[in-house]
Amino acid sequence: MTITRKYIRQCRTLFPVYGNSERTFLNRLKVQINEHLDLFPDLSYEELVKQFGTPKKVIMEYYANADDDYLLKKIDVSKKLKRFFFSLFQTPSPP
């Protein structure tokens, strides 16, 4: 696994909700990392983290700059989906 893929994968797992905006953000981040690696091909994962920040810090920065209405909408949709799936599994089976 390349260091870019490892870094992006760790970032992706930190998103509580993953949609188009998050996918676009990660794609842009991936391009930036690959451009940086073109300039510094021998860069280690630890050096990459020093340069871009830990995946946790990157995601926290994403949410700090994200639109509040978008975040609230995503959280609301997530809650509704969880309730729906919970209700599916809670329905009694016929006798």
Q: What is the pLDDT of residues 7-60, one digit of tens each?
A: 999 999 998 878 888 999 999 999 999 999 999 999 999 999 999 999 999 999
And the tokens for 76?
A: 């609301």
* Dihedral angle computed from the Cα positions of residues 67, 72, 74 and 78, in that order, rounded to the nearest 10 degrees: 160
Averaged pLDDT for residues 82-88: 71
Claim: this prediction has a pTM higher than 0.75 = no
The more confident residue out of 68 and 5 is 5
Q: How would residue 88 be classed by pLDDT, with cut points 50, 70 and 90?
A: low
Residue 91: what pLDDT? 60
